[in-house]
Chain A
Amino acid sequence: MTNGESQNKLSKQAQAKTHNASVKKTVKKLMLIVFGMFGFGFAMVPLYDVFCDITGLNGKTSNVAASYNVKSIDTERTITVQFLTRTAKGIPWKFEPMVNEVKVHPGERKTVKFYAKNESTSDIVGQAVPSVSPGRAAVYFQKIECFCFNSQPLKASEDVEMGLQFYVDLDIPDDVSTITLSYTLYDITSSVDS
């Protein structure tokens, strides 16, 4: 092997080395994107919740009791509040509102009752999850007391009247005249036991 050839070979080896280094660098960067985006998929869960909390977009109401310190009642406006109930698959309860709708003025405090009866022969813990329609009214619908803040255990054949105290915020947009509050009741016995 002549001198020139071996030098040529050396420089080729050096080239191959820098080539491998840059390949590794690119792969590492791309792997970072992969893991970052996998994390981002999961990060969308809390982000979505925060976003909906702020905007009330998906009709989720606050899980925290509101304090009632309204200074005036807007008697000019009347809002119809309708109540819907639904039981999720697999919970043998009777669950219904005792009044189907009430009319309230913004700022006015109102109490309504819901009736639940465990129609099975076993003890069950239920949890009601509220949802408001139209979604953008959710942030103006303030619950002072709600059975949905806690789970509701019922023994076999036991029944209960559950209270909801609420008011509608004075700032509710002018075009909202009807609010529908829907409760879905779920069986959470297994998660409470464990």
Chain B
Amino acid sequence: MTTDVIDDQSEHDSHDGEHHDHKMTGLKRWLYTTNHKDIGSMYLWFSFIMFLTGGVMALVIRAELFQPGLQIVEPDFFNQMTTVHGLIMVFGAIMPAFTGLANWMIPMMVGAPDMALPRLNNWSFWILPFAFAILLSSFFMESGAPNFGWTFYAPLSTTYSNGSTAFFVFAVHIMGISSIMGAINIVVTIMNMRAPGMTYMKMPLFVWTFFITAYLLIAVMPVLAGTVTMVLTDTYFGTSFFDAAGGGDPVMFQHIFWFFGHPEVYIMILPAFGIVSTTIPAFSRKPLFGYTSMVYATASIAFLSFIVWAHHMFTTGMPLFGELFFMYCTMLIAVPTGVKVFNWAATMWRGSLSFETPMLFSIAFVILFTIGGFSGLMLAMTPVDFQYHDTYFVVAHFHYVLVTGSLFSIFAGAYYWLPKWTGYMYNDTLSKWHFWCSLISVNLLFFPMHFLGLAGMPRRIPDYALQFADFNKWVSIGGFAFGISQLIFLVLVIKCIKGGEKAPMKPWDGAEGLEWTVPSPAPYHTFTTPPKID
């Protein structure tokens, strides 16, 4: 396979006038760049900054909940914290991190010189900081930031809005446009830019999961845009989509929102499946067990995600048939997800395992994500959901799938490809510290929440009954420990960019894929001549 043959002639021809033979310098390089690696790095840095921002908000929440009673913040500000924490973590941290990984890795994995639409790529990144600037600016307004929960249920976000709805809606619109453009770019790249010989079923599973995720984004982000538009016109322009006085229905809000919301959940976890399906085979020194079944399982999960939305709404007074339908469909999702978990276990079975940091995060992902999946199954059961609904059990569930699921997979991916990105090996000791501190603190943070929820502590409250005090104290301690642990990662990444032991072309002996056939760090342009795949 040819590695990075810079052939000037093909460079000019294949780029259609879109060539950077030399990088621009300074700020302009980052503002004008159409290079997928630059844009990928910007996405990853942006998401990490947002992760720390949303994390600080989580710590405000945990500081207030350290003891019963109101000590630190007012209830209204507490609500703003829970709302913006959710919005930032979903739209600012997890999703851009995945888009960043997609930008960096997909062209290299399919043997393409860049993303198919490089200018669109630049734009879809650069509108994101503006979206979050609008959202965060509402903290400095008289009315304060959105306080109606990241799910912005009407009438909380319409009739009872504190005046931040317009900021919220425009911010979400911009985030949505950014995601849609990013997703279109991913689909077009995968469909048109694969190296000769790379058929769909020869694509790495990482590429498959992003392919399916991008389709989910294209299908549901416009529905979110429609929902926020209805909220906007209900609040400011006198429509009554969700207002019973004008013939609307607030329950309909939940239907439309969760029609977006449930596929959104899978948008945040399918790429995680792709990452660990890359790392686990590499450190087991075995090919991925059941590749084809993994592809079909991913597609089934994506399909099922469209017909389970009302399991978020069991307590709204649905008819029995509806409750049964959504309960069974939800439980059905456990089947393809189970296929995946068993495939990862089977990949590790009798492999020559080694436990480098990416593998540690991947194994933690498999175990802890499964715990989150099981609590999801419990929530899927309609009768018991009446008890769990809107309690800390729900908070525990989705933090297990999003933090120890999605976030841990992002760490696994970052540790796996960091040598390829920077050209240096990272400090192994620091990375192990990061892993073990995160692992212990994250469980201290989220596991007791299950008990709190089962005991009846409602979510989104700044104060609570005395009997919940002990668990909340431990949860808060875990929260601060987890937050501080992430600074280890920041230090590690900065050190790794500055220097260290030179990384070879393929630092992991079991790693497979085209990205390991180019030097480390990956040159600014890779695969200007497409590689041949047998």
Give the B-binding residues of A (Cβ under 8 A).
9, 12-13, 16, 19-20, 22-23, 26-27, 30-31, 33-42, 44-45, 48-49, 52, 55, 57-60, 88-89, 127, 129, 131, 133, 135-136, 184, 186, 188, 191
Min CB distance, A146 to chain B, in Å?
A: 15
Pick from B16, B159, B188, B249: contact of A26, CB under 8 Å: B188
Is the pair A40, B192 in contact by a Cβ cutoff of 8 Å?
no
Assembly CA distance A36 to B219 (angstroms): 9
Known contacts A30-B188, A38-B225; can you find 6 more A-B pairs with CB under 8 A? Answer: A20-B16, A33-B219, A35-B222, A40-B226, A45-B230, A131-B244
- Contacting A at CB under 8 A, from B1-43, are 9-10, 13-14, 16
Is the pair A41, B251 in contact by a Cβ cutoff of 8 Å?
no
Min CB distance, A166 to chain B, in Å?
A: 20
Min CB distance, A176 to chain B, in Å?
A: 13
Q: Which residues of B contact A186 (CB under 8 A)?
A: 244-245
Q: Which residues of A contact B219 (CB under 8 A)?
A: 33, 37
Q: List 23 A-B contacts (CB under 8 A).
A: A12-B14, A19-B192, A20-B16, A22-B191, A23-B192, A26-B188, A27-B188, A30-B184, A30-B218, A34-B218, A37-B221, A38-B225, A40-B223, A41-B222, A41-B226, A41-B260, A44-B255, A45-B256, A49-B249, A52-B249, A57-B318, A131-B244, A186-B244
Give the A-binding residues of B (Cβ under 8 A).
9-10, 13-14, 16, 116-117, 159, 180, 184, 187-188, 191-192, 218-227, 230, 238, 241, 244-247, 249, 251-252, 255-256, 259-260, 317-319, 322
Q: Which residues of B contact A16 (CB under 8 A)?
A: 13-14, 16
Q: Which of B117, B226, B241, B244 gathers the greatest number of chain A CB atoms within 10 Å?
A: B226
Min CB distance, B12 to chain A, in Å?
A: 10
Is the pair B245, A38 in contact by a Cβ cutoff of 8 Å?
no
Min CB distance, A39 to chain B, in Å?
A: 8
8 closest A-B pairs by CB: A41-B226, A186-B245, A38-B222, A37-B222, A41-B223, A12-B13, A26-B188, A30-B184
Q: Which residues of A contact B241 (CB under 8 A)?
A: 45
Q: Which residues of B contact A27 (CB under 8 A)?
A: 117, 184, 188
Q: Which residues of A contact B187 (CB under 8 A)?
A: 26, 30
Is the pair B255, A12 in contact by a Cβ cutoff of 8 Å?
no
